[in-house]
Every structure is written in C-alpha cells, then in structure tokens.
Amino acid sequence: MLFQVGVICLVLFLSWRYNQTRAWLKKFPQKKGLPVLRNFFQVQVKDHRIEKLFTEWSKELGGVFAVQILNKSFIVLNSFEAIHEALVEKGESFSGRPQQSSFRLRYNTRGFSDLVFTNPSPRWKLMRKSAHRHIRMFGSGLKRIEALNLSAIKELVSEFRRRGTKPFDPRNDIHSAIMNIMTSLLVNRKYKTTDEIFGYFIEMEKIGNENLTSSGKGVELDTFPWLRFFGNSTFKKLEHQRLTRDKLWKLVKDQVMEDFRQGDKNQAEGLAHVWFKLIEEEPLVEELNAKMSFSNLIIAGTSTTSNSFYMFLNILSQHPDLQSKLQEEVDSAVGPNRCVSLDDKSRMPLTHATVLEILRYTTVVPLGIPHASLTTTSISGLSIPPGVQVLNNLWALHHDDKFWEAPYEFKPERFLDADGDVVSASHPNRKHLMPFGAGPRVCVGEVLAIGRIFLLVATTSQVFNVDQGPVKVSCDARDYGHGLVLTSEDFEIKVNSRNDSLYVD
C-alpha cells in the first residue's frame, strides 16, 4: 500500500515538475497536436522540406512559434524581426548549439569536439578565429589565392569544353572543382580526381551529407541509441564516416609534417598547417579538435557553394534574357582577353546582384544550423530558459511574400537601384538577406563563398552560352530536394563556347 502511494506521489511530482519546467513553452503560439506525440505526425512531410511547412504555419501562428515532438520542443523563428533579435541583438545569449537530443551528432562529432556543433568556449573562439582569418585572406585579399580559385575554375571550364556540344550533367564537374578550392584552402594543394587522397575528400563530404541530413532518416538512433548494438544501418554509416575521416586525416597529417620537415618558411600554408601549429602553441586545442573541424570545413565549404552554382546553371539555362545581359556586362567590363578577377566586381553590378539573388532564391541552408539559448533570455517579449533549441527559418525570411515581390521569381534587379548600381548594405533588401546567418555564429566562409560564386557566374557568362539539355527539371526553388543542403534534381545542359582562348593551359 505504502509502495503504491509512493509511486502515485512520484508520478504526480514528475508531471508537476514537467509542467513547471515547460510553463514558458505554453506562452508560445503552437499547432495543436496529439497527446504525448504532440506535433509528431504534423511534421512528417513527404519531401522533407520542413522549412516550407514552417513557412506555411507562420502565416497562421506568426513569426515565432513552438513545435513539440514527443518530449522534445524547439522554437522556430520566421520573421526578420525575430531572426535579427536572436542572431544579432541577443547574439551571445543565442549562440549555443543544441547538444542534448542527438545521439548521432554526439557520436559523429566525438562529443562535440568540432567547430560547428560545439558550444562557445575559449577553444571554439581560437579555432574560429584562426579559420576566419585564414579564409578571409583566402577569399579576398591575396592575389596568389585568387589564382588558386581561378585555377580550379580553369579545370571546370576545360571539363565543360571537353563535352563539345553534347548534353551533360555538370554536377560532378562542379563538385570536383569546388572541392579542389577547398583542398587548396585546407592543405594548400590541388589534386587530380584520380588521387587517392582526393577520393577520401569526396567520400568524406558525401557521407557527411548523408549522415547529417535533417530529414527523418536515421532519427531512430537518436531515440534508441542501443540499436547500434543490433546492426543498425545508420550506425554503420556513422562508423564508415569515422573510418574515412581517420584515414583522410592521416594522409593530410603526413603531407603537413612533410612540409614542416622541408621547412620552407615562404611556403604558403593551408588551414591544416595553421591548426597543427596551434596544437603546439595552445594547450586548449588538441589534435582531435583540428581533425573534427577539418571535416566540418570539407562539408560546410563544398556542398553549399557547389549546389548553389549547380542550381544557378539550371536557372540560367531557363532565363536566356538574363544570360544575354550578364554576357554583355562581362564583355564590356572585362573583355575577351583576360580572366575575370575579384576586382571586377565593382564594375559588374548585375553579376554582383545575381550572386545576391542566387543566395536569396536558393537559400541552400534553409534552416541554418540550429542554435540554443545559453542564458535565460526572451524573443518577441516571450521568456526562454537556457538550453532551448532555436531554428532560424531563413527560407521563410527569403521568401516572405509580404516583403519580397514575387519571391519565387529569380530577379537580380531587386538588388539594383534606379541607376543600375547594387543597393547599399543598409538597404532593406540587403538587410533581409541572411543566407549565412548573422552574429557570433555567422558562417565562417561568407567572404570566400561570395567571391567564389562571383567568379563562377562571371566566368560562365564570359566563356559559355548555357542551354537546357534533354533532361530538364524545374528551376522553381519550391521543387528542390532536401539533404543536408537544398539541391535540385539531376538535369543536363549544353554549352557553346563563346571564347576558346581564355582559361587554357
């Protein structure tokens, strides 16, 4: 009898505690769900485009709402005001990453020892600062580095030329070119696609994408981590990723150590060189942190830009007017006798505006990377305790039809003023464009990505006419598919050379 009373008291106490700790949650607008399961079934969408569902919900619930799935809950921010408040005005309070709920993420990041999924800490600051400094030099300042970018683009041009006028799917060519820009950044080397080490880079990025996908695949392992002892297929993929990462890291380390032995002080460094020195100098940074962050950068730096440019080629092949205007601009600003340079950007406003529109229209990272509150804070006046997961719906921000006219039309002109110049950074359209997030966790590769996409768009316009091939797919952003980042279905293009003398060896 005493035992039964004890159990009842315990259940009552736990449900009281549960309600107490969740009292804050009740204040947030939310969709009514089922008891216990809450919104579980409502968020199961066929195309895994959960950001589109949240954008629809925001029309009814407003710019900020809560979602509950079983005993887990998170806040979704959809409006400019709310996203700006969280990322910029209260950036420090919201600069955490959620770490409780995902076994897969914990396992994959070796206990959050990486750069992207760790919480802010002195070590994170050191790693981020060194990466940022290295990437910024890589992205804008140094001519030598621009040459590396262009040398990868040269390879892409030569692959496109090799196809003659035959239709082909450009996905793998783009992917290899972008990966080689990343290998230049990371280890100061470009590789042949047949090199063993290059195969590991490609494999690392491919399985990283599969394992980190935000769709429902593999979610069972988060709920029941013990499944890993019973041949769970998601766990096997995580194991495969770990082995690939270890093999790649060993090869990279051998190369870096060899460079150090050669001892050429003038030798330009990759980020891996920078990090190996940091390990020596800073007790806070261990080799594991460098290894995990290295694989973060391979994934974050490759799939984002390569998918943006891939989707742009599909858009370009279906917008011949825009293509003619871009060609006119590059012909007059650069001409047929030299390669495009980053310095040309200020004289090519339409190309610059096209880059901004690619970032808005495609929004390749539609929900950003999840944040978490680190302190007791608030959003839109509603209180939030520490440890709450927050999703920034960048898709909703970039496709809000109350702000953007015809948001599903590709219109670079929205970033041009009456004189045809790119609108200033303080213009509302530029302020509402946040493809890289903002605040303390803003994307480390922003400058590099913008420069790289500019060079790719300008070079394509200078050298090729791009037409649709026989395999056609929609270029409507609502039809994209979801992995770790958004991408379109496979398609083919045909290219005709406008200039045979540039970008040749």
The site for ligand HEM (CB under 6 A) is made up of: 115-116, 128, 135, 296-297, 300-301, 304-305, 308, 364-365, 368-369, 435-437, 441-445, 448-449
- Nearest partner of 181 among 171, 173, 189, judged by Cα: 189
Exposed, middle or buried by CB within 10 Å (0-12, 13-18, 19+), for 425? Answer: exposed
Region of 347 please: left (phi>0), alpha (psi -120 to 50) or beta: alpha
Least Å distance, CB 118 to ligand HEM, is 8
* C-beta of 36 vs 425, nearer to ligand HEM: 425
- Nearest partner of 298 among 367, 216, 203, 374, judged by Cα: 203
Least Å distance, CB 433 to ligand HEM, is 11
* C-beta of 38 vs 452, nearer to ligand HEM: 452
Q: How far apart are CA 101 and CA 103, in angstroms?
A: 7
* C-beta of 73 vs 304, nearer to ligand HEM: 304
* C-beta of 212 vs 333, nearer to ligand HEM: 212
Residue written as token pair 């159990």: 7
Least Å distance, CB 359 to ligand HEM, is 6
Tell whether residue 475 is among the known ligand binding residues. no
Amino acid at 172: N
Exposed, middle or buried by CB within 10 Å (0-12, 13-18, 19+), for 101? Answer: middle
- Quote the tokens at residue 154: 């040269």
- N-terminal to C-terminal alpha carbon distance within the chain: 88
| C-beta separation of 480 from 362 below 8 A | yes
Least Å distance, CB 455 to ligand HEM, is 13
Contacts of 254 (CB under 8 A, 6+ apart): none
| C-beta separation of 369 from 116 below 8 A | yes
Q: How far apart are CA 187 and CA 174, in angstroms?
A: 20
Q: How far apart are CA 160 and CA 496, in angstroms?
A: 9
Residue written as token pair 């204040």: 27
* C-beta of 355 vs 502, nearer to ligand HEM: 355
Exposed, middle or buried by CB within 10 Å (0-12, 13-18, 19+), for 227? Answer: middle
Give 72's strand partners: 69
- Quote the tokens at residue 171: 């996905």
| C-beta separation of 365 from 93 below 8 A | no
Least Å distance, CB 174 to ligand HEM, is 13
* C-beta of 116 vs 334, nearer to ligand HEM: 116
Least Å distance, CB 499 to ligand HEM, is 27
Least Å distance, CB 120 to ligand HEM, is 8
Round the CA-based radius of gyration of the chain to a whole number and report it. Answer: 24
* C-beta of 297 vs 502, nearer to ligand HEM: 297
Q: How far apart are CA 385 and CA 24, in angstroms?
A: 8
Least Å distance, CB 133 to ligand HEM, is 12
Least Å distance, CB 186 to ligand HEM, is 9
* C-beta of 170 vs 301, nearer to ligand HEM: 301
Torsion of CA 241, 185, 269, 342, to 10 degrees: 180
Least Å distance, CB 128 to ligand HEM, is 5
* C-beta of 252 vs 364, nearer to ligand HEM: 364
- Measured in degrees and rounded to the nearest 5, phi and psi for residue 151 equal -70, -35
Region of 47 please: left (phi>0), alpha (psi -120 to 50) or beta: alpha
- Measured in degrees and rounded to the nearest 5, phi and psi for residue 74 equal -150, 165
C-alpha pair distances (Å), 255 with each of 188, 193, 197, 249, 495: 10, 18, 11, 10, 38
- Nearest partner of 294 among 160, 435, 134, judged by Cα: 134
Least Å distance, CB 351 to ligand HEM, is 16
* C-beta of 398 vs 414, nearer to ligand HEM: 398
* C-beta of 399 vs 441, nearer to ligand HEM: 441
Q: How far apart are CA 385 and CA 82, in angstroms?
A: 17
Binding residue numbers: 443
Binding residue numbers for heme: 443
